[in-house]
């Protein structure tokens, strides 16, 4: 699509700056109460789940309820709590535990690794081919910017696999990009820690999660160790499927745009705003739907304002939509079913070569 002229970009960007300033002026005790309440709910769900899981021998329904509660606890920990805290949204509280420097989430991926490739790389170079490793996770071909390879025929199965074991993909993402275990060593690496330290952090966090979910808690409940182990595994899969689906719906829908490194040369802050709008998509839903997504249902607002407490995103989204309408800039939003269908269609579409590539292969 044709890029707006400089006057429109200036007006558009200035309006978004004003919205951010206006919203940050409201940030305070209400936000602190919200995140502390979410942490209390998450912990209550996990404690209840651990107790009910042991009682599963009384009735299978108690075990099922325990799995669902533990899955909910893990979703809240990863999305509304962990993701947003690690973006620095609550650093202003000066809380010794609720801050981006110390928080560690209940997932196989190390928080430090995630913050390096996600907070900086993805949020700076959103959907820039060759710079944003989150676009396709190095697994999917999601645009014609990347040449088709025979392995892409099967990417719908890779998609299902990554969705099911998403926490492993998150854990391995930076390690794979730095070619720690396989491939030729990167010459252009900007890794701020040693390769040895990256490998150590990868194994330490993975070991910690395995011990907690598959050794410590099952042994603690030895007579019912297998049902506890199975329950923990299913809760992790529930969390993985939910988080991956929400994240994919915010990044990989049919109407999401991609960019080249050439296109972002000399990019201004307001042009960066424009790219975030084109490179993201939103999901519509009620208050608890937004909370369960970590407010990543408002992915556009998150990409525009990653350090603004996410609880403000639904209200901000109304104003961002208005600003986009006034400046004739597209705003990609829709129901969960519509956006998820768009993701699946995109994964399927780019599983196959273009006509030109098909001819070249003939």
Name 113's Cβ contacts closer than 8 Å, sequence gap at least 6. Answer: 171, 173, 174, 175, 198, 201, 202
**C-beta of residue 167 within 8 angstroms of C-beta of residue 240:** yes
Q: Which long-range contacts (CB under 8 A, 24 or more apart) does 196-200 make?
A: 198/113, 198/174, 199/175
**End-to-end alpha carbon distance in the chain:** 32
Percent helix / strand / coil, the chain, rounded to 5: 65, 0, 35
Could you give the CA distance from residue 124 to residue 232 in angstroms, rounded to a whole number?
35
Cβ–Cβ under 8 Å, residues 116 and 192:
yes
Would you call 259 helix, strand, or coil by DSSP?
Answer: strand
Residue whose C-alpha is closest to residue 349's, from 162, 130, 160, 148 = 148
- Tokens 């071909």 locate to 141
Provide the whole-model pTM. Answer: 0.94
pLDDT for 190 beyond 80: no
- Give me the residues paired with residue 259 across strands: 128
pLDDT band at 134 (very low <50, low <70, confident <90, very high): confident
Mean pLDDT of the region 38-53: 97
E strand segments, the chain? 282-283, 333-334
pLDDT in tens, 273-286: 999 999 999 999 99
Q: Which of the pair, 66 or 133, is modelled with greater confidence?
A: 66
Cα 15 versus chain centre, distance: 27
Tokens matching residue 333: 């939003």
CA-based nearest residue to 52, from 41, 43, 44, 64: 64
Q: Residue 312 above 90 pLDDT?
A: yes
Distance (Å, whole) CA 238 – CA 72: 8
Token pair recorded at residue 81: 């709590």
Strands 333-334 and 282-283: parallel
CA-to-CA separations, 2 to 5, 129, 278, 330, in angstroms, rounded: 9, 19, 12, 11
Confidence tier at 362 by pLDDT (50, 70, 90): low
| pLDDT for the residue numbered 315 | 97
Q: What percent of the chain has pLDDT over 70?
A: 99
Per-residue model confidence (pLDDT) at position 268? 96
Q: What is the mean pLDDT of residues 185-196?
A: 78
More confident residue, 221 or 188: 221
Q: For the segment 154-173, what is each residue's pLDDT rounded down to a tens digit?
A: 999 999 999 999 999 999 88
pLDDT over 70 at 306, yes or no: yes
pLDDT, residue 191, reads: 78
């Amino acid at each position: 699509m044709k890029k707006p002229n400089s006057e429109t970009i200036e007006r558009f960007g200035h309006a978004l700056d004003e919205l951010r300033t206006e919203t940050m002026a409201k940030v305070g005790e209400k936000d602190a109460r919200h995140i502390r309440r979410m942490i209390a709910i998450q912990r209550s769900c996990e404690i209840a789940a651990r107790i009910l899981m042991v009682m599963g021998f009384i009735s299978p329904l108690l075990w099922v309820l325990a799995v669902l509660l533990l899955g909910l606890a893990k979703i809240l920990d990863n999305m509304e709590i962990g993701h947003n805290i690690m973006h620095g949204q609550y650093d202003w509280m000066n809380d010794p535990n609720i801050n981006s420097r110390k928080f560690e989430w209940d997932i196989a991926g190390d928080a430090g690794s995630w913050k390096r490739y996600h907070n900086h790389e993805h949020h700076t170079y959103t959907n820039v081919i060759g710079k944003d490793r989150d676009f396709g996770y190095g697994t999917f071909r999601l645009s014609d910017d990347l040449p088709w390879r025979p392995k892409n025929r099967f990417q719908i199965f890779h998609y299902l696999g990554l969705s099911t074991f998403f926490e492993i993909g998150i854990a391995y993402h930076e390690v794979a990009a730095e070619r720690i275990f396989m491939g030729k060593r990167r010459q252009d690496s900007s890794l701020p820690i040693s390769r040895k330290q990256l490998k150590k952090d990868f194994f330490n966090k993975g070991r910690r999660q395995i011990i907690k979910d598959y050794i410590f808690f099952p042994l603690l409940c030895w007579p019912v160790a297998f049902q506890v182990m199975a329950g923990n595994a299913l809760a992790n899969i529930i969390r993985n499927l939910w988080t991956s689906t929400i994240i994919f719906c915010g990044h990989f829908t049919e109407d999401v745009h991609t960019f080249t490194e050439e296109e972002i040369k000399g990019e201004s802050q307001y042009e960066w705003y424009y790219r975030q709008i084109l490179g993201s998509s939103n999901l519509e839903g009620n208050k608890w739907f937004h909370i369960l997504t970590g407010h990543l249902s408002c992915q556009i607002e998150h990409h525009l304002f990653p350090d603004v407490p996410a609880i403000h995103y639904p209200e901000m989204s109304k104003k961002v939509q208005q600003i986009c309408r006034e400046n004739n800039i597209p705003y990609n939003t829709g129901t969960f079913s519509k956006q998820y269908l768009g993701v699946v269609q995109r994964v399927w579409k780019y599983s196959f070569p273009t006509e030109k590539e098909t001819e070249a292969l003939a």
